[in-house]
Amino acid sequence: MRIMKYILVLAALCGGTVVHAQPQLTLKRTAVDWPEISVFYEVLCSNRLEVAHTPANITLTEDGIPVASYTKYCPDTTTHCAMSAGLVFDASGPTVGKWHAAQRNAGRAFISKMNGGSDEAALVFYNTFVTVEQAMTSDTTALQSAMATLFPVGGNAMYDGIFEGMQQVLNSGVNSCRTVVVSAFDADNLSNYTEQDVIDVARANELRIITVGLGFNFDAGTMQRMADSTGGRYFRVLDTLNLQQTYREIYELISDEFRECVLRFDTDCEDGAYHDISLEIENVCSGSDSTGTRVIHPFATGHERPLDIVPATFEAFAGTTIELQYGHVTLNQGILQPANFIITFPRTVLKLLSVKIPRGSPLEGTEVDIIPFAQNYLLATKVAVDIGSPGSFFNLEFEVLDRQDSTSVLVTPLSASVQKGCLTPTMHTGRINIAIPPRPVIEALGLTAFCPGDSVTLRVTEEYDGYLWTTGDTTRSITVKEGKNYAVTVMDHAGRSAISPVFPVTVHPGAHPQLSQSGSVALCAGSSLTLGTKESYMQYQWSTGDTTATIAVADSGMYVVAVIDSNGCAGVSDTLSVTVQDPVVTIQPSDTALLCMGDTLLLTADAGFVHYRWNNGRATQQIFVTQPGNYVVRITNAAGCTAWSDTVVVVEVPLPDAEITTQGPMTICPGDSLALNGTPGFVAYHWSTGETTPSIRVHNPGLYTLRVTNANGCTSVADSVYVGITQRPKLEPGGTHSICFGESLVMDAGEGYVAYQWSTGLEGRTLEADTSGSYWVDVTDAGGCTLRSDTVVLFVRPEIKPEITADGPLTFCDGGSVALNAPLGFRGYEWSSGELSSRIVVQRSGTYSVKVFGADDCTGTSEPVDVTVLPLPPKPVVTVQGASLTTTSAHGYQWLLDGIPIPMATKQNHTAAHSGMYSVRVFNADSCSSISDEVQVTLSGIESAPTSFKLQVYPDPNHGEFTIEAIADVPLPLHVSVVNMLGQRVAVFEEQRAEGTVRRSISLQHVPSGVYLLRVRLGMEVITRRIIRQ
């Protein structure tokens, strides 16, 4: 493990800790020990050092190129790093007084935290001279004794003191964590060494300097530079009260190896230039961050290494686009920094279009700028790239301008340069040989537009050594039948090839006549059809011999036409079939038909026609007629041909008359029957029961109908009778019922009966019942039938009587309360005060009752209860005169200190024995009480009387939050309060049993900056001290 050395120049802390967003990456400094570069950094998560990140979370680059190999080290802040420390203190005359004493106490605080074993330190005092008061030792007793000898006198030789502190650490320190601690009250005015001397020695030995400025007169810029340049820390202390805590923090910082991580990697290229370092972290405390800096490489003569960029010779045709390829061919590897290349070429022959980066080039993924100026071009790469094995570099895309003769041109580099780095590029001259290609032309030996089935011969006008047509043919001429574009590629005697311009050939669509009618057509006898084509043509020849554009067709047969179009192309139409039709139709029934009066008759015409029209206006194949008369129909078939039927004569005949008779009334008792008789003399009888006899016997109530049919086949209108039966009475409501106590149920047997007899012995249509039991009724109708109803079962629920219970006395002081409870298990509650829960809390005098609702909707109301609220005594007022306190007159008293009752303090007057916040609770004759506001009593300034327990408060000053630390040997009550200068309490903390080392954090974020009094009471002992909120 590398030994880490530190120089710490102590300066006082002026600000509190700032909580940053997570994570926060800070690059602290860099160090160069060629060829090694060290990058010191810290990662904070919620203001805590994060050391668990791994290389998988880190991206480290130099000049944008990832560093492939590096080492990472972060301190283990959970273990102590044994230290060798040189403590350097300002003993100059201006420190006389409080800063002299504060330095001695701060040095003792640092020495007290040393472990007395592995930790060691040396004491150096500086004024006009430098004194090693105690050489390097682990003996803390000797160090404490030497610290007591610090005495202020003379001038200021701070740099010499720092130098001597470094010598003590370098020459005598044996531990891995080495440090020098230096305080400064004023600026150096006597040293032989300078600020830069101190920094150079520290950096050369990897020593850290921590600077601590005291008060306001020291050179803050010097202190900051020495700390930043050596990787130390700068503190500024404005108040002597904070110096001891600063030394303790410095000790913890050294113990934690300065709480920063380091990345180390080897690099090359001693070019004496600045290089960019970038550090990025990802997936650390659920976030990422990045930062960067610059580091200067040392310079060494002869650091340049050549990089040859060589083009390939290119053969091209005039009028084409080419890419001139360049590759890097030397074996030198490394980082090529952004480079500039200036080239020139004849612009009358070439036009530069772009720079293309081929796959696998070190420039892949980057861009190259093209900047024209004068008659030249500047090609500029933008980023540093890693040059590996020889391969492609970039391609220059040129347009070769058209010309009439062959030539050869050069692409000449004028310069190649980089601003820094060790690879020095050299761009070589490229050559492009330009040739003139063949220029073949196609001619046609005939018409290039013809009818389908014809052809034309295409030929190359000049003779070449080879031919390849787009059809695949390889002869000078080809014969084609398709309408499309044709081209030919030729090769001359020098092996150069070229493609001809496109030669179009057109094939006319041809004649494809379509008749105005297609398929087959039906004609009615005596009609005709005009037949023609859908498009016009130059000539016509019909199958009938006609040569006109249209013909008239009146006979059955097959018809076709041949035509010639305007391009001279011939064509023949499809064949049309023509049929002549003469339809016939009849009606069923025919001749004469009988129609029963009031009935309907169906007349049906022959099927298979598309339209029907009867003389009564109907347009269907069948019609129903209800009136006598003559009927005839006209039909139309699919061809539109029509015909008339013969006449049908419809004659109307009368209907028979049906009648049902019976002997006796139309009502039967259950189990009896009744005879129904039809009128005699008809050929058929049709009862609604399905029977076909003239008479029937029925046993059930209902509606009965009869139809009769006479000799003409006519059926009568139905006659109907209704047969009734005495019905069993039905109670309303029926079934089983439950009612609440105090309710009743009314049952109704219904109307229509002449007598009612209930199971209770009462008579009448209705019965009202309010007791549990079964109920029914016997009824008698007008025919003498007696029937019994169904049974109704009634249940009457028990009476509900809720009782209120109280959780405490029904009489209490104002501000108190009592809970009233109704019995549980009910569906709902309604108190006389309006609440709807089973339990209410009462704070006012009054009479209270509750109504409860059962699951069956039955209710009950409790007996009322009375609640009495007693008044409080008036709020007492406390008068303070020195240590004497007096309050207003009352029935009884109890004095309190910091909210805790004072034993035996139960009178109207009280004498304070301790400083603190006093109040009094007074009682009236009913034992009701009121408490006064707190008053501040200070007996002896802001300092507290001596106590047997120790108290530490840090940090002080604070930025809205501080910690108290106290030790209690036995369990005692702890009371902490913070009071402003007006005596108002702004923060309070209480704990009933505090034991051992007690640490508690107190927040003052809600109060403004200023001076406050902190009062800590442990048991009956009190410590009061002043604190500052910044």
Give the per-residue pLDDT at 944: 43
Q: What is the pLDDT of residues 341-372, one digit of tens each?
A: 999 999 999 999 999 999 999 999 999 999 99
Total tally of structural domains belonging to the chain = 11
**In this predicted model, what pLDDT tens digit does every residue of 30-64 receive, in sequence order?**
888 889 999 989 999 988 888 889 999 999 999 99
Does a structural domain hold residue 284? yes
Determine the length of the chain: 1030
CATH number at residue 401: 2.60.40.680
pLDDT of residue 683: 85
CB neighbours of residue 479 within 10 Å: 11
**What value does the CA radius of gyration of the chain take, rounded to a whole number of Å?**
61
Whether residue 1016 lies inside any domain: the answer is yes
Judgement on whether residues 243 and 356 belong to the same structural domain of the protein: no
Helix (H) and strand (E) counts in the chain = 6, 94
pLDDT value at residue 312: 87
Asked whether residue 513 is assigned to any structural domain, the reply reads no
Q: Percent of the chain scored above 90 by pLDDT? A: 45
Q: Count CB-CB contacts under 10 A for residue 398.
A: 23
What is the CATH number for 237? 3.40.50.410
Residues 197 and 275 occupy one common structural domain = no
pLDDT score at 655? 83
220-230 and 195-204 helices cross at what angle (nearest 10)? 20
Q: Is the pLDDT of residue 250 over 90?
A: yes
- Judge if pTM exceeds 0.75: no
CA distances from 721 to 669, 702, 834, 1020 (A): 17, 8, 67, 114
pLDDT at res. 943: 42
- Per residue in 657-666, pLDDT (tens digit) is 888 888 766 7
Cα distance between residue 506 and residue 503, in whole Å: 10
In a domain, 9, yes or no: no
Q: Are residues 226 and 98 in the same domain?
A: yes
Bigger pLDDT: 395 vs 3: 395
Q: Average the pLDDT over 142-169 and give the result.
A: 93
Q: Higher pLDDT residue, 1010 or 194? A: 194
Tell me the pLDDT tens digit for each residue of 918-972. 899 999 988 899 999 888 887 754 444 445 577 888 898 898 899 988 887 777 8
Judge if 899 and 962 occupy the same domain. no
pLDDT value of residue 39? 92
The per-residue pLDDT for 671 is 74
Higher pLDDT, 726 or 290: 290
Identify the CATH number of the domain in which residue 617 sits: 2.60.40.10
Per residue in 839-898, pLDDT tens?
999 999 999 999 998 888 888 899 999 999 999 999 999 999 888 999 999 999 998 887
What is the pairing mode between strands 430-435 and 407-418?
A: antiparallel
End residue of a domain, out of 435, 458, 490: 435
Structure tokens at 233: 């820390």
Residues 577-605: tens digit of each pLDDT: 988 888 888 989 888 888 888 888 899 99
* 166-214 pLDDT tens trace: 999 999 999 988 889 999 999 999 999 999 999 999 888 888 899 999 9
pLDDT higher than threshold 50 for residue 14: no
Residue 104, in any domain of the structure:
yes
Among 702, 725, 748, the domain boundary falls at 725
Check whether residue 780 and residue 834 sit in a common domain.
no
Looking at mean pLDDT, say which of 279-283, 912-916, 938-942 comes out highest: 279-283
Residue type at 328 in one-letter notation: H
**Structural domain span for residue 770:** 736-796
Is there a single domain that holds both residue 893 and residue 855?
no
pLDDT band for position 428 (cuts 50, 70, 90): very high
φ, ψ of residue 581 to 5 degrees: the values are: -120, 150
Provide mean pLDDT across the span 214-237: 90
Side-chain-side CA neighbours of 764 within 13 Å: the count stands at: 7
For residue 7, tell me if it sits in a domain. no
Same domain, 91 and 193: yes
DSSP state of 893: E
Backbone φ and ψ of 105, nearest 5°: -65, -40
Picking from 325-334, 501-510, 672-681, 778-787, which range would have the lowest pLDDT averaged per residue?
A: 778-787
- Residue 1 domain-assigned? no
Answer whether 319's CB lies under 8 Å from 79's CB: no
Peptide bond into 35 cis (omega under 30): yes
Which CATH number does the domain housing residue 1002 bear? Answer: 2.60.40.2550
pLDDT of residue 913: 83
Mean pLDDT (the chain, rounded): 87
Domain boundary among 435, 452, 479: 435
Q: Collect all residues with Cβ–Cβ distance below 8 Å to 89 and sequence separation of at least 6.
A: 103, 107, 123, 124, 125, 126, 150, 182, 183
What is the per-residue pLDDT for 10? 33
Q: For 323-333, what is the mean pLDDT? A: 88
pLDDT at residue number 411: 94
Q: DSSP assignment, residue 21?
A: P
Residue 19: the pLDDT is 42
Average pLDDT over residues 821-829: 90
Same structural domain for residues 968 and 1007? yes
438-447: average pLDDT: 90
Instruction: Name the token pair of 211.
Output: 């600077």
Per-residue pLDDT at 244: 93
Share of the chain above pLDDT 70, in %: 96
Average the pLDDT over 479-499 and give the result: 89
CB 86 within 8 A of CB 10: no
Confidence class for position 1, pLDDT limits 50, 70, 90: very low
Residue 946 lies in a domain: no
Q: What is the largest CA-CA distance in the chain?
A: 162
What is the rounded (10 degree) CA torsion for 727, 731, 733, 738?
A: -140
Cα–Cα distance, 249 to 246 (Å, whole number): 5
* 280: confidence class by pLDDT, cuts 50, 70, 90: very high
Q: In terms of domains, do 226 and 171 share one?
A: yes
Q: Are residues 566 and 598 in the same domain?
A: no
Task: Report strand pairing: 506-507 vs 449-450.
Answer: parallel
153 and 247 in one domain?
yes
pLDDT of residue 580: 86
Stretch 214-219: mean pLDDT? 92
* pLDDT class of 157 with cuts at 50, 70, 90: very high
Query: Taking 50 as the threshold, does the pLDDT of residue 272 lie above it?
Result: yes
Co-location of 452 and 564 in the same domain: no
